[in-house]
């Protein structure tokens, strides 16, 4: 993994953790997703039109439109389930599970469907990051017998987080195919998928338009933060994917879990402890392994 790719992915990780805090604060499901999508569409529309109308700019054929359509569906599922996951569990529990399961699934998908063969050092770095995230989130508790009243909510949060992680893994592998093999422009690709997402949820949002209006009144700040930081962060990831294997990019993105753990402790008052510091140090070793691979 080159230093440029690592810099792009780590910058995206910081932005990712910040906008996820905003998503957690709002935590209102489809109305929030639609409000964010509308703002993203307003931002992206002039950019898309300029790129398509500019002489010598990128062009879209049937294959490009097809991969954009599939990515749109996957990201719509991700956006909706992310909100569901945040409504069903604590940020410090859900976020590590979502981010921790995604790279493992994405790496498996890249090996099975894209024919990628990570080096031993790169694979060891990715596994180190995933294992660190597992212990950072106290994942071993999932195998303990649950006798407390909060067991069902925790299991729902676990299920929603893993489904969200599956969507992340799916669109990460698919998007690598789009920008790496089919060479769709990353900015145009992300812009069109976000516009498509907004159009997909629009009919359902219309029936809940009062909830959408309330989201805009109460959580306007969170909407604007996510609508600006989310696409910017993912475009950086797409550029990295255009010349870097998924099996390296996907685990490196999980540096965001460190930022999220810190912000969660500061913003939501969640307890921090030496265990997290140990996991953080181990995760850094994994990132170094990825950088040297």
CB atoms within 10 A of CB 286: 24
Q: Write out pLDDT tens, residues 121-144.
A: 878 887 887 788 777 666 666 555
Q: Which domain holds residue 133?
A: 3-292
- Taking the model in full, what pTM does it have? 0.79
Q: How many domains does the chain have?
A: 1
Distances in whole angstroms, Cα of residue 187 to Cα of each of 38, 102, 126, 162, 193: 17, 23, 27, 28, 10
157-215 residue pLDDT tens: 778 888 998 998 888 888 888 888 888 889 999 999 999 999 999 999 999 999 999 99
Contact 195, 69 (CB under 8 A): no
* 276: pLDDT strictly greater than 90: no
């Amino acid at each position: 993994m080159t230093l440029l790719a690592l810099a792009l992915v780590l910058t995206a990780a910081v932005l990712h953790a910040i906008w996820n805090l905003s998503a957690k604060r709002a935590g209102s499901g489809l109305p929030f997703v639609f409000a964010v999508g509308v703002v993203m569409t307003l931002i992206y529309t002039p950019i898309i039109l300029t790129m398509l109308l500019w002489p010598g700019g990128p062009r879209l054929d049937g294959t490009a439109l097809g991969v954009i359509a599939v990515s749109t569906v996957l990201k719509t599922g991700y956006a909706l389930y992310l909100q569901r996951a945040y409504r069903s569990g604590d940020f410090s529990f859900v976020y590590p599970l979502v981010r921790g399961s995604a790279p493992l699934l994405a790496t498996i998908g890249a090996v099975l469907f894209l024919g990628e063969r990570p080096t031993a050092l790169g694979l060891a770095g990715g596994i180190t990051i995933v294992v660190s995230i597992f212990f950072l989130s106290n994942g071993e508790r999932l195998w303990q017998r649950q006798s407390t009243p909060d067991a069902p909510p925790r299991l729902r949060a676990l299920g929603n987080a893993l489904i969200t992680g599956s969507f992340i893994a799916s669109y990460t592998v698919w998007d690598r195919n789009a920008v790496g093999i089919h060479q769709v422009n990353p900015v145009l690709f992300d812009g069109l998928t976000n516009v498509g997402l907004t159009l997909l949820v629009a009919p359902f949002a219309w029936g809940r338009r009062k909830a959408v209006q309330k989201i805009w009144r109460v959580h306007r700040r969170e909407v604007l933060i996510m609508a600006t930081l989310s696409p910017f962060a993912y475009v950086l990831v797409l550029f990295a994917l255009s010349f870097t294997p998924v099996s390296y990019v996907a685990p490196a993105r999980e540096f965001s879990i460190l930022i999220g753990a810190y912000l969660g402790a500061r913003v939501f008052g969640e307890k921090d402890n030496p265990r997290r510091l140990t996991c953080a140090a181990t995760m850094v070793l994994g990132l170094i392994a990825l950088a040297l691979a």
